[in-house]
Structure 1
Amino acid sequence: MPRRYAVLDVFTDTPLAGNPLAVVFDAEGLDGSAMQAIARETNLSETVFVLPPRDARHRARLRIFTPGRELPFAGHPTVGTAIALALEDGDGGADARAFGLEEEVGIVPCVVEVTGAGRGRARFRLPKLPLSVGERDPDEAACAMALGLEPDEIGFARHRPSRHSAGVPFDLVPVRSRAALDRARASEHFDAVFGGGDHPAVYLYTAETEDPRASFQTRMLSRLLGAGVLEDPATGSAAAAFAGALMQFEPMGEGVHDVLIEQGFAMGRPSRIALQLQIEAGALVGAEIGGEAVVIARGELYA
């Protein structure tokens, strides 16, 4: 039977920017192998399959696939699918709508506002707060070698390489400047340094930004994105893990902190991710990821 789908650009309000996402609405009857084959066919960084929720109190159950594997959680699929579902429900006006999405990592609470025809903004609360992972943090000299940079270009202020996960693990590598961020690449040593673990992915960041309102500009490099694809234009799960690095290296006080993150600029796909941290008694007690999305295509899938 035909299955309805939509393609959205996520973490942007501009078509053909941000991070593309395919959402298959009528996914009942598809097993994991079929979903993986469809994700290879779309060849986007992620494809989401919408299923009836296990608990009727929630809006939907999601399965998220890259062209090569299933993910327990991802940020831009959560934001984009939440907006796509609100548009499917016919919500309009300024009223925000709240619902839960069931993902493999757990229940993800979302708040969505439809802002116009085929567009909206959403935010979600992290189902898991970031934790430091691995026996030790990455070595600075090894990071530089793997990224084609000089050792003194790794790190700035208090920031040093670290590993954190909020459901999906990332190597988080601070670089000294925007020039170093733009110049970074996967050298022949990339896999040897970052290829270990179940999710070899590197999130580079610098405090030099394009927009003065932004706090950091970032890039995400991974071998898991699909054939011939190394870089992702907007990575919400990496921004979630990055909250752990901020807690480790930034002198953040009590209360709510809003952090605007730029990504995708080096790819010509500018994206903006809103990260919010809530700190109490010196500990991170809650975090949210937010952003906008716009529908750029709709159709039917015959598979």
Structure 2
Amino acid sequence: MHRFTQVDVFTDELFLGNPVAVVHDADDLTDAQMAAVASWTNLSETTFLLRPTQPGADYRLRIFTPRRELPFAGHPTLGSARAWLEAGGVPDDASGPVQECGAGLVRVRSAERLSFEAPPLVRSGPVDAADLAVLTDGLGVDDVVDAAWVDNGPGWVALLLRDAATVLALEPDLRALAEHELSHAVGVVGPHLAGSDAAFEVRAFVPAMGVGEDPVTGSLNAGLAQWLVPAGHAPSSYVAAQGTALGRRGRIHVDHAGDTVHVGGDTVVGVAGTIAVRAQNGGPSPA
């Protein structure tokens, strides 16, 4: 029997963010069992808290989509940190816990709201013309202001469109996008009009991971900030909206200072209980 927490991330009101399922004290679970739990929850990500193996880490996190494991993801990082703290975790550093994951050590700040320090990009730079043509065809858009790789693990490539209305109007061909390896994680962003409560509207399409459109995405927003701010497309601090097209109200708080980007948001615990993972078949069941 394992403690189980489900946390809604990037929202201050339950049901309006992006939920992550968190299984605590998961050192005894096999890879197959973790994958089975992630498939069963059918959320964009399910995470597993384990004992750390690296000096300086408070815990180790493994992150699974319904189809594969990820080295890093943003909303699971914040939601898992909230679950760990709610379970009585006490970080060595008073500023917040340090998470060990496939991307290395990720620092989480506990201030007005939880925020993580964005890991470095593993791929950056412009998107070549042939790849961009695949993306614009799949998204059904031909007016792209700029495009770049902003990959910090999940494979993000991003397109900047002329405005938020264009982003919200997209009706992508998710099947076509899923057929192309380069576009298994596609982010689009466009500026809101002055006076809006958010500077940008963001959407994330990840059909190859079994998700389709992700409601609110920390890793994408981290990568976007590492591109948009240095390129002069965004101020050093801003709020992005995501999930609007899905009936959510995600708000991502970005702060770019020097070489460091922090991505934060509110978190709400929605479910707390236990889960039984049976060793004989790896299948989960609530308890």
Relative to the length of structure 2, the TM-score reads 0.86
Q: 1:143-154 maps to which residues of 2 (within 5 A)?
A: 143-149=135-141, 151=142, 153-154=143-144
CA shift, 1:252, in A, is: 6.9
Contact 2:62-2:102 at 8 Å conserved across structures: yes
CA distance in 1, matches of 2:105, 2:186: 26
Aligned residue number for residue 118 of structure 1: none
Superposition pairs of residues 152-231 of structure 1, within 5 angstroms? 153-155=143-145, 160-187=146-173, 189-191=176-178, 195-197=180-182, 200-208=184-192, 212-226=196-210, 229-231=211-213
Structure 2: gaps (5+ residues): 278-287
1:234 deviation in Å?
0.8
Match of 2:283 in 1: none
**Per-residue deviation, residues 182-204 of structure 1 (Å, max 9, x unmatched):** 22122264345xx224x711101
User: What's the offset of the Cα at 1:111?
Assistant: 1.6
CA distance in 2, matches of 1:40, 1:124: 26
Read off the aligned partner of 1:126 and give its amino acid letter: A
Residue 57 of structure 2 aligns to which amino acid in structure 1?
A: H
CA RMSD of aligned residues (A): 2.6
Mapped partners of 1:38, 1:174: distance in 2: 35
Preserved CA contact (<8 Å) 1:175 1:204: yes
Per-residue deviation, 1:133: 5.2
| Alpha-carbon separation, structure 2, partners of 1:235 and 1:16 | 15
Distance 1:107 1:239, change over 3 A: same
Post-superposition shift, 1:17? 0.8
C-alpha spacing 1:268/1:61, structure 2 compared with 1 (3 Å): same
Contact 1:82 1:112 in 2 (8 A): no
Summarize the alignment of residues 65-84 of structure 1 with structure 2, pairs less than 5 Å apart: 65-84=64-83
Of 91, 102, 127 in structure 1, the residue corresponding to residue 119 of structure 2 is 127
What is the aligned partner in structure 2 of residue 289 from structure 1?
A: 263
Structure 1 pair 139/50, CA: closer, same or farther in 2 (3 Å)? closer
* CA–CA separation in structure 1 for the residues paired with 2:121 and 2:176: 31
Map 1:224-303 → 2, pairs under 5 A: 224-226=208-210, 229-247=211-229, 249-250=231-232, 257-279=236-258, 285-303=259-277
Question: What secondary structure is seen at the aligned counterpart in 1 of 2:36?
Answer: helix
- State whether residues 143 and 154 of structure 1, in contact with CA within 8 Å, keep that contact through their aligned partners in structure 2: no
Q: Which amino acid aligns with 2:164?
A: R
C-alpha distance in structure 2 between counterparts of 1:246 and 1:62, whole Å: 28
Contact 2:126–2:147 (CA under 8 A) maintained in structure 1: no
Aligned residues: 274
Q: How far, CA to CA, are the matches of 1:294 and 1:252 in structure 2?
A: 28
Instruction: Specify whether residues 57 and 235 from structure 1 end up closer, same or farther in structure 2 by C-alpha distance, changes over 3 A only.
Output: same
Closer, same or farther: CA 34–272 of 1 in aligned 2, 3 Å = same
3-state DSSP of counterpart to 2:67? coil
| Aligned amino acid, residue 5 of structure 2 | A
Distance 2:24 2:195 in 1: 35
State TM-score, norm by structure 1: 0.82
Distance in 2, Cα, partners of 1:56 & 1:265: 40
Change beyond 3 A, Cα 1:296–1:137:
farther
Residue identity opposite 1:85 in structure 2 = W
In 1, Cα distance between the equivalents of 2:184 and 2:158? 11
Q: Cα gap change, 1:250/1:130 in structure 2, threshold over 3 Å: closer, same or farther?
A: farther
Q: How does 1:23-42 map to 2 (within 5 A)?
A: 23-42=22-41
1:46-96 superposed Cα distances (whole Å, 9 cap, x missing partner): 0010001114642210000000000000000111111111111178xxxx6
2: distance between equivalents of 1:276 and 1:46?
24
